[in-house]
Amino acid sequence: MRQLRRSMLFVPGNNPGMIRDAHIYGSDSIMFDLEDSVAVTEKDAARALVYQALMSLRYGKKELVVRINDLSSGLGIEDLEAIVRAKPNVIRLPKTETAQDIIDCEREIARIEADAGIEVGSTGMMAAIESAKGVLNAYQIACSSKRLIGIALGAEDYVTDLKTTRSDGTELFFARNVILNAARAAGIDAIDTVYSDVNNEEGFLREVELIKKLGFDGKSVINPRQIAPLHKAFMPSEKDLTKARAIMQAIAEANKRGSGVASLNGKMIDKPVVIRAERLLELYDAANIIPIEEV
């Protein structure tokens, strides 16, 4: 069963209450943040808090992601030294601009895994692309490591780099398409940026509809209120599910007959149609599984 990443909830690493309760909000992934949401004076305390949470709290089958500080700051290495030993599923590297950034981070992760007796290669990685340079290098970044499970757009730094501001999404259209195509070419997930106006549900849903049409796997969110409408928007409609099931039934019947050709309502079913139907049903099945630990 595929790992759903419709929603990746940011949890500030210096917020004990939210860290404790992060699993109850229903996001597919939980992302503990040691970077932008934590003041410089609180970095050490946040790192220790997230480490202890990963070591002692149960989050069921949630995917656990930790956004570290960038390596050039010096703080990123300190983050890795602690966090990798706590065995999160994924390390998210911010401000990724080149494949070398990923290679450098992977080298440190592998060193710490080996030192801690953790299986080398077991810690996943995710790259956040937040600059014009990073966007233009997105494909090289996406292909830079077998650890990468996805690449994500970080819009606030990106639009600042472009010398503009966020508006109706026009300023992000190029970056979204480049990042999405890079992820698909590399066979990994593409995660969209946060929508920061948590009180504008209409605007949030418009943006969700756009990224769904583009083909993104999901979106980072900063408020638990955004999770339910995001998941609802990503759920296949009953009409689409009925059609997908009919397609797969027609394929099964053709295989049973020993025929290499299948049709539905007089139309031949080609491979791309089958792939889309399989993905739709897989998404539906994955979204309707409730792990026992979370009941």
Identify whether residues 137 and 212 lie together within a single domain: yes
Q: How many domains does the chain have?
A: 2
Please, which residues bridge with residue 277 across strands?
Answer: none
Q: Quote the distance between the C-alpha of residue 6 and its chain's center.
A: 7
Same domain, yes or no: 90 and 207: yes
In the three-class reduction of DSSP (H, G, I as helix; E, B as strand; rest coil), residue 221 is classed as: strand
Q: Which of 170-179, 184-193, 242-251 has the lowest mean pLDDT?
A: 242-251
Q: Could you report the per-residue pLDDT of 159-173, keeping only the tens digit for each?
A: 999 999 999 999 999
Q: How far is CA 222 from CA 77, 197, 212, in A?
A: 25, 9, 18
Burial class from Cβ neighbours inside 10 Å (0-12, 13-18, 19+) for residue 255 reads exposed
* Residue 264: predicted pLDDT: 72
Lookup result for tokens 């004076």: 41
Q: Say if 1 falls within a structural domain.
A: no
Question: Any long-range contacts for 211-215 (C-beta under 8 Å, 24+ apart)?
Answer: 211/176, 214/176, 214/177, 214/180, 215/180, 215/184, 215/190
Beta bridge partners of 64: 30
Residue ending a domain, among 199, 217, 234, is 234
Q: Residue 19's closest CA among 37, 36, 5, 31?
A: 31
List beta partners, residue 220.
Answer: 8
Shared domain for 212 and 269, answered yes or no, is: no
Of the ranges 27-31, 154-158, 191-195, 274-278, which one carries the lowest mean pLDDT score? 274-278
| Predicted confidence (pLDDT) at residue 1 exceeds the cutoff of 70 | no
Same domain, residue pair 227 and 242: no
Q: How far apart are CA 48 and CA 111, in angstroms?
A: 20
Task: State whether 105 and 22 are in the same domain.
Answer: yes
> Are 187 and 267 in the same domain?
no
Number of C-beta neighbours around residue 187 at 10 A: 9
**What's the predicted TM-score (pTM) here?**
0.86
The tens digit of pLDDT for each residue in 50-107 reads 999 999 999 998 999 999 999 999 999 999 999 999 999 999 999 999 999 999 999 9
